[in-house]
Amino acid sequence: MHNDRAHPGGTPNVYIAVESIDACLEKAQALGGGVAVPKTTIPDMGSFVFVKAPDGNLIGLHETSR
């Protein structure tokens, strides 16, 4: 069966654990990346953000609550 959708069923999300989302965002933006999904905090778990790389790929960053 042929499916014309570019990403049937969606695409996987890749998250990278980081010490500081803010520091990583600053570096990503300096290298030409952008924010695709703003920093979101989940109580007692941490924060995440999606960065859009210059090539269009999305990368999730996760910072654990302290």
CA distance linking residue 22 with residue 24, whole number of Å? 5
pTM for the model = 0.78
pLDDT of residue 36: 95
User: In the predicted model, is pLDDT for residue 59 greater than 80?
Assistant: yes
Write down how long the chain is: 66
Number of alpha carbons in the 13 Å side-chain half-sphere of residue 64: 4
Interval 4-39: pLDDT, tens: 556 556 778 889 999 999 999 999 999 999 999 999
Q: Looking at the domain covering 15-64, what would its CATH class be?
A: alpha beta
**Domain limits of the chain?**
15-64
Cross-sheet strand order for the sheet of 15-17: 15-17, 58-64, 46-52, 34-42
